[in-house]
Amino acid sequence: MATNLNSRLTLNNGVQMPIFGLGVWQADNASAENAVYAALKHGYKMVDTAKQYGNETGVGRGIARALADGLIKRSDLFVTSKVANQDHGYAQTIAKFDGTLARLQLDYLDLYLIHWPVDGMYVETWRALEDLYAAGKVRAIGVSNFDVHRLQVLLRQGKIVPAINQVEFNPQMQEREMQDFAREHGIQLEGWSPLGHGSAMSDPTIGAIAQAHGKTAAQVILRFDVQSNVITIPKTVHENRLVENADIWDFELTDAEMAAIRGLDKNERSLWYPAFGWYGTDTDFGMATQKWPDSPVNYDE
């Protein structure tokens, strides 16, 4: 059972990954820098970013400041980034990886993910990740937003079983089929949008459980995510919210409360998700991000 921000799960290659960290999707570089620095100051050990977020530079600056100020040691920090859609393919993935390291001001990544499974290319991209892993440039490799079918393809054609599949996970989207498949194959689930874009926080079931524990609805949901054994990365750029999100270690949901929250599952993805052609070879992520507020598209800054 996770007991604090130092709690870690062991991945299928033996690497230990924090069960809780900071996500920075939709943060510009300045906001990402400040959020990362504040998170590390308050004891966070993990930061999740992606080239497609356009804020690797800001994340790198926040990490560099925290390391320089002695807030954390590199060996205690776990940093994730992801292959951008426009970088798919073996040669392109290898060529662009060094740019991610440079923007993050790091010598290696702890986890590198395929951000979206672009059909016709993701197997080749996975081969590149396997070679980056073999070269010691990343400590673990995985995928994001893969469904069962595409994971099965990787398991058949790849050499390494992904350590992680990062998918949407919250009370209203609990990925039951993926949970079962991942458990069967030793793949750890990591959840983005753990608060369900806020919609679950107004549910009366969540509200009643929060009142019973003297916690906020957000804290109850994040506790549910962690107790579901899903690595959790709530995103925020506000320091007070960082502190609140991480204040989930002094209570535990009962079996009945966990069951009640599991009963909220609608198997419904985010509103934007179905409209995004995530499996297409012609997906233009830059155009997609323009629909989201404050989403930078200067990926290579």
**Which of these, 280, 146, 129, 261, lies nearest to 205 by C-alpha position?**
261
What is the per-residue burial (b if ≥16 Cβ within 10 Å, else e) of 220-236? bbbbbbbbbebbbbbbb
* Cα 227 to Cα 82, 170, 188, 217, 221, distances in angstroms: 26, 12, 14, 15, 10
| Cβ-based neighbour number of residue 249 at 10 Å | 16
Q: Which of 53, 112, 122, 133 is an active site residue?
A: 53
- Catalytic, 122? Answer no
Contact 17, 4 (CB under 8 A): no
Chain centroid to CA 79: how far?
A: 10
- What residues contact 198, with CB distance under 8 A and at least 6 apart? none
What's the CA gap between 219 and 212, in Å, rounded?
A: 12
Active-site residue set: 53
